[in-house]
Amino acid sequence: MAIISNAVTIADAGAFSVSLGSMVHIKTLTASNDSTLAFIHGTDDVVLDDTYPIYILKIINLFSHTDDRAVLLNFTIDGTNFNVTKTTTFFRARHNESGSHAQLDYRGRADLEQSASGQEFVEGFDGEADANVNSTIFLYDPSSTTFVKHFTMETQGTGNGGTDAQTSTNAFVSGYCNTTSAVTGLRIEGQSTTISGTFKLYGIKDS
Amino acid sequence: MAVVSNGTTIIDAGALGSGVPTGKMILIKTLTASGSGTLDFINGADSVVFDGTYKEYVFKFINIHPATDSADLTFQVDTGTNTNYNQTIMSTVFRAEIREDGADSKLIYDTNLDQEEGTAFQQIQHDIGNDADQSAAGTLTLFNPASATFVKHFMARSQIYYAGDYALDFLVAGYFNTTTALTRVQFKMSTGNIDSGVIKLYGIGG
């Protein structure tokens, strides 16, 4: 039975006919001193297939429990092995509290050339108690069996741990998973560290 | 009474059914400038929400037009009921630009526009022209302003019709170096009023 108001069909056949917005929340996961955190299609209500042409992962207050460690992003095509070959670019603006760095540079040590390794968000997470990293990741058409899978990351956080002063780091990564197999999951992993933070996966409807 | 269509609960008990997917970019407030000295978004005032309700807040700037040529759109925040708008900022600024005649194109880091533990208003739109057709547009994202643990990060990117007849892609990011919850955001020009323009605040839900 359709729901019609003032000659406008509001809902029919179990779905709304009117627009309800196009950015759909799929799943929120929270890491609490964990080594890894993964979104895998079909696991724990996660959708990461051809339901949406674009997926967005929002990361809020990502924290490394060990100072000066990398936190990495990787992808899977089988739901188990997170080792998809990637080629990426990495550039950043950074400025530290002591004023010894204020610059824009391309970071050859943080990009990937046909590598199955994880992609860094910022170099060397700062481990101070108030330090954290936030990022928005776009993943395009992960279910394609024709094309490589492009993704972009914009990250703002406190990088350059260790002996360096706390550093505001705005990092930009873009690249592709060099596979024509469907990407079915992604994982955030601490490199010799554990992580905490909030991770929200959204899908963008195409109609 | 529930409204059920084809076996799916659409509406029940005054709310949409849990199976109905809804958009998660929620419009909180729109402010429209008209010769305005400041535009303020204050949690709890005038229907503004800026607290722990959302983990991410997004401001959209549409056709910001300064009353004074070459003015910069700036912003600051404050905590509690404070109105000094002088929180400590660490920031980076860089830009890509090209003049309309193609004579000057470059990508540079702006050491004179970033802040190093400064408390000034932060530029997020630089040198906006005030010819009739000149304006700026962009986005500012603030992460988890209600946190009592972490510093508060922000990212902004704007496209500006620069006073010197340039297209200017202006990127600013950084953090407010405080672990106290932020409760308010103020926007103003570096000089003169905001002649016209719209600023929209959204919360990212889910």
Contact A95 B204 (CB under 8 A): no
Question: Hey, what amino acid is at A182?
Answer: A
Nearest-5° Cα angle at A56, A102 to B28: 85
Distance from CA of B151 to the nearest CA of A (A): 6
Per-chain mean pLDDT for chain A: 93
Q: What is the pLDDT of residue B127?
A: 97
> Whole-angstrom Cα distance, residue B47 to residue B64?
23
Of B134, B151, B155, B146, residue with least CA distance to B75: B155
Which among A28, A130, A202 has CB closest to B150?
A130
pLDDT over 90 (residue A189): yes
Least confident of A4-8, A58-62, B173-177: A4-8
Which among A20, A94, A136 has CB closest to B23?
A20
Give me the count of residues in chain B.
206
How confident is the model over A144-166, as a mean pLDDT? 90
Kind and range of the H or E run holding B123 = strand B122-128
Q: What is the pLDDT of residue A160?
A: 78
pLDDT over 70 (residue A207): no
Distance from CA of B90 to the nearest CA of A (A): 6
B96 Cβ under 8 Å from any chain A Cβ: no
Which among A14, A131, A202 has CB closest to B8?
A14
Residues ≥6 apart with Cβ < 8 Å to A13? A2, B5, B6
pLDDT per residue over B112-168, tens digit each?
A: 999 999 999 999 999 999 999 999 999 999 999 999 999 999 999 999 999 999 999
pLDDT per residue over B27-77, tens digit each?
A: 999 999 999 999 999 999 999 999 999 999 999 999 999 999 999 999 999
B78, β-bridge pairs: B184
pLDDT per residue over A38-55, tens digit each?
A: 999 999 999 999 999 999
pLDDT over 90 (residue A81): yes
Contact B91 A168 (CB under 8 A): yes
Contact A16, B20 (CB under 8 A): yes
Contact A60 B143 (CB under 8 A): yes
